[in-house]
Amino acid sequence: MSKPIVGFIGVGVMGKSMAGHLLKAGYPVLVYTRTKNKAQELMEEGATWKDTVAQLTAEAEVIITMVGYPSDVEETYLGEEGILAHAKAGTVMVDMTTSTPSLAQKIYALAKEKEMIALDAPVSGGDVGAKEARLTIMVGGDPDAFERVRPILEVMGKNIVLQGKAGAGQHTKMSNQIAIASNMIGVCEAMAYAKKAGLDPALVLQSIGAGAAGSWSLNNLAPRMMAGNFEPGFYIKHFIKDMNIALQAAEEMGLMTPGLKLAKSLYEQLADQGEADSGTQALYKLFLQE
């Protein structure tokens, strides 16, 4: 049985690896991104470049989007040259961007009107998870649509869960980001404390990473801090975007999120110092400032 043609829109830090795994698994992959040279390596691996979203959409049977902000998602799906204006009936659209639950629900409803299928499927695991094809994928939408694309999702991730109806994937991702927000404060404070105390941070990590303090962020990002590596596995500017989405949703539900508010204020302070394009582990720098 032939594999469906997959259109992949957005091949940045995460999307490039994800699309690459699909190519290696034998899927025909069409790619589009605003900056063509970002797709050069994928084209060398066999991906087919398309000059516009409309061109890609007209040929793809499954469309995956991994763009930056909700505004990008809205333009990509709802614009005059967007996916919904050009996709064929029966096309499955999977937005893997971290976006707003309300936009996911809107896209789902509009797609259904046109006999198309939309899922929201944000991910967690960072650049490492994307490179190693072990992302956590949180999905919202119809069960039959989920089963239809599950083989494709399994090429990119390991922990794949249908969380509920449209928007549930994005709500789950917000829960994830809220947990990470306060955790990153603790991780960066702990490693800054170890450094200020004159300890060997590697030995400290060896102890606390295996105990009750252990977390993905501690064990994966603290070594980067110690090595002075602040390259983005996940951009600070995108994390601030996510925290804004989570805060808005929490306020609409009447939920207190003091840890999230604190984390957002610290990351905004760091972004104002020119670190918006650094990885989230760069919060460590803020605590070490004299």
Q: Give tens-digit pLDDT for 76-125.
A: 999 999 999 999 999 999 999 999 999 999 999 999 999 999 999 999 99
Q: Residue 89's pLDDT is what?
A: 96
For residue 158, give the 3-state DSSP assignment: strand
Specify the pTM. 0.92
Q: Residue 233's pLDDT is what?
A: 86
* Catalytic-residue membership of 173: yes
Residue 249 and residue 168: Cα distance in Å, rounded? 12
Residue 260 and residue 264: Cα distance in Å, rounded? 6
Q: Residue 186's pLDDT is what?
A: 97
Residue 129 and residue 17: Cα distance in Å, rounded? 9
Q: Residue 32's pLDDT is what?
A: 97
Residue 47 and residue 234: Cα distance in Å, rounded? 25
- If residue 157 lies in a helix (H) or strand (E), which one and from where to where? strand 157-164
Residue 135 and residue 47: Cα distance in Å, rounded? 22
Q: Residue 13's pLDDT is what?
A: 85
Residue 154 and residue 286: Cα distance in Å, rounded? 38
The H-assigned helical ranges of the chain are 15-24, 40-44, 53-59, 70-78, 83-86, 101-113, 126-131, 143-156, 168-196, 201-208, 216-226, 236-253, 258-270, 283-287
> Which long-range contacts does 224-228 make (Cβ < 8 Å, 24+ apart)?
224/279, 224/281, 225/188, 225/191, 225/201, 225/281, 225/284, 226/191, 226/201, 226/202
Q: Residue 126's pLDDT is what?
A: 86
| Neighbouring residues of 180: CB distance < 8 A, sequence distance ≥ 6 | 217, 280
Exposed, middle or buried, 86 (CB in 10 Å: 0-12/13-18/19+)?
Answer: middle
Q: Residue 237's pLDDT is what?
A: 96
Q: Residue 104's pLDDT is what?
A: 98
Q: Residue 290's pLDDT is what?
A: 61
Q: Locate tokens 């516009």: which residue? A: 52
Residue 95 and residue 36: Cα distance in Å, rounded? 20
Q: Residue 248's pLDDT is what?
A: 94
Catalytic residue, from 16, 50, 131, 173: name it.
173
Residue 149 and residue 156: Cα distance in Å, rounded? 12
Q: With beta carbons less than 8 A apart as the criterion, state whether 76 and 67 touch.
A: yes
> Which structural domains are found in the chain, ordered by start?
6-165 (3.40.50.720), 171-287 (1.10.1040.10)
Q: Residue 221's pLDDT is what?
A: 95
Phi, psi at residue 75, to the nearest 5°? -65, -45
**Per-residue confidence in pLDDT tens, the chain, 290 aa:** 689 999 999 998 899 999 999 999 999 999 999 999 999 999 999 999 999 999 999 999 999 999 989 999 999 999 999 999 999 999 999 999 999 999 999 999 999 999 999 999 999 998 889 999 999 999 999 999 999 999 999 999 999 999 999 999 999 999 999 999 999 999 999 999 999 999 999 999 999 999 999 999 999 999 999 999 999 988 999 999 999 999 999 999 999 999 999 999 999 999 999 999 999 999 999 999 86
123-124/117-120 β-pairing: unpaired
